[in-house]
A and B are shown apart, each in its own frame.
Chain A
């Protein structure tokens, strides 16, 4: 159910994001989804890639600070209100979202929402109970 995500610490210096994506590309690692959270001084880059182990090792070897976290990927129909229904379900169960980002898959029919919760197990339970579709890392890569 869970999807592995890697996070990379970045100082706000020009060209850092380009460097990371170049390293990944040079090693044939495909980025499926990404988000950046930033402050004036630094940022946290989060990536879902097709080869987590390899990406982690390569970036560490390149001198980056890399962390690995579990997130959940929820697939919803790409139409108005898709995200809102998921958030309502979580809210009514009292589950807080630590952060989230989203992408639309190639066919444009479905959207994938990536969530990080503090209480992951409870979130899984609630989402499944309310009939949402959780997809795996392999499924994301196959999209």
Chain B
């Protein structure tokens, strides 16, 4: 099942030709309108007008999340604000958030790209889609919503949270497709059991999951427990949101929407391309974005190309499900969390370099983050009421700045190991 068959099954030579044309246009556009790119290109004496092949892109510089932050909020927009019809923002503290914009055409493309992903998973206009991603600045909710509407399916925009109500609605409204994070799907299965609801009695057939790393074992469990076919989809707000890539019914890797995105897989240390099939960091260049084009964006997501043709007939290359991160970002309940965010909150309340450790676990199919903090004199109180109020204050601050609830555990001084690398401060016990 295809949404735009002529595009999704375009012969490779024609696809590469289309990509080259769009790449040239994008490079010329950002070189002319975005000072950040103009300066970066001129520093390297790169002329977008002289690009002759897709390989020429490799001479152009990478764009990083830090570049996006440095140009907060609108510095990388390639069109005037009055032509921007939508703003989204990635999770993160106010200081660390990244802002992206969409033109009317961007929204239209976004809708089609997500419709492709839905179609690829087997969803049709006859389906009732329950979207349990948050609606708001996060791209997940709206992205899937547009795609589902574009497809002509019926949308239940329930947003995230309130699991019992989700299940009640799923039962009463006869939901056939569920959109959420894979761990939330498993949580729903748990809650259904508690409520005495047999998933086989529901109308549910499809699950489209994304926004966090998962595994084949989780897919098998979801499929068995909910009696559905679970497919993976991938996207990131810096590039578009959902709709960058999605699995077809073969459930064997995600097709990248290559007519809109050019991908590379690099070694995160040497920054050179890895051999086809080798694991590396996914780098994406947008080919059609108007408001927020990005050149060679380092996603920090690790994956590998699956170069063999797919039996589904799509010619778009597949990538493996995301296999991890090349930085220390954690994805907790679908929210991006950097240890540095927690560090800066602790630094702020302690007034000194904090010693802490982060423990990530999955309890009852729900991610749980515990921050262990060594108690120094500045955060130690002789009255229990004050000590507890202090803990509550940190919890609240972390919840509001990180966007997820955390548990705080106070430990004695000098009991946490000292590390040189900040990545070692994180103990991720989740077994996916």
Residues on A facing B (Cβ under 8 Å):
5, 7, 9-11, 37, 39, 41-42, 44, 46, 63-67, 69, 98-99, 116
Contacts and interface: CB of A to CB of B under 8 A. Distances in A.
Q: Which 7 pairs between the two chains have the least Cβ-Cβ distance?
A: A7-B382, A37-B384, A69-B382, A98-B383, A9-B375, A63-B414, A65-B375
A63 B387 CA distance: 19
Contacts of A46: 382
A39 B381 CA distance: 14
Contacts of A116: 382-383
B411 interface: yes
A45 B369 CA distance: 28
Contacts of A64: 412-413
Nearest to B409: A41
B416 to A, nearest CB: 12
A98 B385 contact: yes
Interface in B406-432: 409-415
A113 B376 CA distance: 29
Given A9-B375, A10-B412, A11-B412, A67 B381 contact: yes
Contact of A41 (B377, B381, B410, B414): B410
Contacts of B382: 5, 7, 44, 46, 67, 69, 99, 116
Nearest to B387: A44
A65 B384 contact: no
26 contacts: A5-B382, A7-B382, A9-B375, A11-B415, A37-B384, A42-B410, A42-B411, A44-B381, A44-B382, A44-B383, A63-B414, A64-B412, A64-B413, A65-B375, A65-B377, A65-B380, A65-B412, A65-B413, A67-B377, A67-B380, A69-B382, A98-B385, A99-B383, A99-B384, A116-B382, A116-B383
A63 B383 CA distance: 21
B388 interface: yes
Contacts of A10: 412
Contacts of A44: 381-384, 387
A5 B410 CA distance: 22
Interface residues of B, number: 18
B383 to A, nearest CB: 5
Given A64-B412, A65-B413, A7 B388 contact: no
A69 B414 CA distance: 23
Contacts, number: 52
Nearest to B408: A41
Interface string B378-395: 001111110110000000
B407 to A, nearest CB: 10
Nearest to B382: A7
B387 to A, nearest CB: 6
A65 B355 CA distance: 13
A66 B377 contact: yes
Nearest to B410: A42
A29 B431 CA distance: 50
Nearest to A16: B412
A39 B384 contact: yes
A18 to B, nearest CB: 15
Contacts of A7: 380-382
Contacts of B383: 44, 98-99, 116
B380 A63 contact: no
B264 to A, nearest CB: 48
A95 to B, nearest CB: 15
Nearest to B414: A63
A4 to B, nearest CB: 11
Interface string B137-150: 00000000000000
A39 B412 contact: no
Nearest to B379: A65
A85 to B, nearest CB: 24
Contacts of B413: 9, 63-65
A114 B382 CA distance: 13
Nearest to A37: B384
Contacts of B384: 37, 39, 44, 99
Contacts of B387: 44
Given A69-B382, A99-B382, 8 more contacts: A9-B412, A10-B412, A37-B384, A65-B413, A66-B377, A67-B377, A98-B385, A99-B384
